[in-house]
Amino acid sequence: MSKENKNNYCVIMAGGVGSRFWPYSRNKKPKQFLDFFGTGKSLLQMTVDRFLPVVPMENILIVTNVLYRDLVLEQLPAMKAEQVLCEPARRNTAPCIAWAADAIAKRVGNVDAKDIRIVVAPSDHLILDNAEFVRVVEKGLAFVGEKDALLTLGMKPTRPETGYGYIQFVGNELENGDCRLKNGDCRLKIEEAGICAVKTFTEKPNLEMAKTFLASGEFLWNAGIFLWNLKAIREAFKKYLPDVAEVFEKGLPFESCPSISIDYGVMEKADNVYVLPADFGWSDLGTWGSLYALSEKDEALNVSLHSEAMFYESTGNIVTLEKGKLAVVQGVNDLIIAEADNVLLVCKKEDEQRIKDFVNEVKPDYR
């Protein structure tokens, strides 16, 4: 392991409950700990494996809810207990990242904070091209090692998606030559693009706005993957979220942090924010619909995961049952049929956003 790699750190955020995948994802074992594709590895395990070519295992930190500490250590036996930061309460991504940065700062001691490069990522994303992912992350880490910048990865949009946030980039070449778009064309060419300055962040748009974003060629999907050096992110917290920074400076309880995202609290306010365009087969795997889109389908466009299913006069369905069970599905279209731990969900795919409401209304034992 080179000295350069020893200065690389990775923070994986793994505290969510994944309620949009209920009942397969449950409070006691949310989606980041599940094997969705029958590979023998959970999303969390796949995420850790993805970073190992860039970051040594001992430099990977998992931030999760205290309820999931044992699950993390069970799934990642090579990880030491001190690498798992257990939040006593959910406070969104900014406090999570600030805590991890504080833990890294204490670990590295007197090492120059600018030399410590950090990549932050969710635990539950799917990436199809790991080699390209590694190339992009290495490029980003090299950039933040030279510049006190807050860098995010932007995914090349392929459709007018309303479920993702968007990043508008500046297509003009930066003074240091980081952004290279041929012929002055601002329409994005992923294979030619360098690191660009960010102009705006936009939360999930409506369909018409998403279509406009896609047609302009100036917008990327916000993947929620960030890179920076330790100095830059700690200074950003002090400047833009001083109440969060103060919690760790004064050793106050984690619960005293406000609940705020890193996007809203820091990235949308800072003036040193950049984006690295990328295309490595990314999905945030946020809904049953996104899982359906990524899964292998039969001739009638039905999907069966982890179980056997027989379809008759039915199209566009996704079915998942506990192992060893059979579903016989007749005369229905475009449904989610999911069963786990004594709960059966039958829901229209177009109404999947209501699943979170269903979860809130069932008895706690079924959540």
pLDDT digit string (tens) for 280-310? 999 888 889 889 988 999 999 999 987 899 9
pLDDT score of 193: 55
Would you say residue 326 has pLDDT above 90? yes
Going by C-beta distance under 8 Å and a sequence separation of 6 or more, which residues neighbour residue 307? 319, 320, 321, 322, 323, 324, 325, 326, 327
Please answer whether residues 122 and 43 qualify as being in contact, where contact means their C-beta atoms are separated by less than 8 angstroms: no
pLDDT score of 350: 92
Q: What Å distances lie between residue 132 and 103, 127, 144, 152, 351, CA to CA?
A: 29, 10, 19, 16, 34
Mean pLDDT computed over 98-102: 97
Phi, psi of 326 (to 5 degrees): -120, 135
Minimum mean pLDDT among 16-20, 31-35, 360-364: which range? 16-20
Would you say residue 185 has pLDDT above 90? no
How does residue 184 score in pLDDT terms, banded at 50, 70 and 90? very low
How does residue 3 score in pLDDT terms, banded at 50, 70 and 90? low
Instruction: Write the burial class of residue 106 (CB in 10 Å: 0-12 exposed, 13-18 middle, 19+ buried).
Output: exposed
How does residue 188 score in pLDDT terms, banded at 50, 70 and 90? very low
pLDDT score of 175: 43
Would you say residue 12 has pLDDT above 70? yes
Would you say residue 239 has pLDDT above 90? yes
pLDDT digit string (tens) for 118-131? 999 999 999 999 99
> Which carries the bigger pLDDT value, residue 137 or residue 38?
137
Query: Token pair of 227, please?
Result: 């890179």
Q: What does the alpha-carbon distance between residue 134 and residue 112 come to, in Å, rounded to a whole number? A: 25
Mean pLDDT computed over 172-178: 45
Instruction: Find out whether the peptide bond into 23 is cis, omega within 30 degrees of 0.
Output: yes
pLDDT score of 216: 86
Mean pLDDT computed over 12-40: 90
Would you say residue 171 has pLDDT above 80? no
Mean pLDDT computed over 82-96: 95
pLDDT digit string (tens) for 134-150? 999 999 999 999 999 99
Q: What does the alpha-carbon distance between residue 346 and residue 365 come to, in Å, rounded to a whole number? A: 19
pLDDT score of 260: 96
Please answer whether residues 112 and 106 qualify as being in contact, where contact means their C-beta atoms are separated by less than 8 angstroms: no
Q: How many other C-beta atoms can be found within 10 angstroms of the C-beta atom of residue 253?
A: 9
- Its sign, for the CA torsion 142, 218, 170, 93, is negative
Please give the CATH number for the structural domain made up of 3-283: 3.90.550.10
CA angle at 142 for the pair 51 and 79, rounded to the nearest 5°: 25
pLDDT score of 287: 86
Q: Of how many residues is the chain composed?
A: 367
pLDDT digit string (tens) for 343-364? 999 999 999 989 999 999 999 8
Share above pLDDT 70 across residues of the chain, in percent, rounded to a whole number = 93
pLDDT score of 323: 82
Would you say residue 208 has pLDDT above 70? yes
Would you say residue 179 has pLDDT above 90? no
Would you say residue 211 has pLDDT above 60? yes
Q: Whole-model pTM? A: 0.89
Minimum mean pLDDT among 171-180, 258-267, 320-329: which range? 171-180
Exposure of 207 in the CB half-sphere (CA atoms within 13 A): 0
Query: Token pair of 358, please?
Result: 């269903």
Q: What does the alpha-carbon distance between residue 216 and residue 186 come to, in Å, rounded to a whole number? A: 9
Q: Helix (H, G, I), strand (E, B), or coil: what is residue 50?
A: helix
Mean pLDDT, the chain, rounded, equals 90
pLDDT score of 106: 96
Q: How many other C-beta atoms can be found within 10 angstroms of the C-beta atom of residue 141?
A: 24
Looking at the chain, which residues constitute the CATH 3.90.550.10 domain(s)?
Answer: 3-283
Beta strands in 288-362 (DSSP E): 303-305, 308-312, 318-320, 326-330, 335-340, 343-348
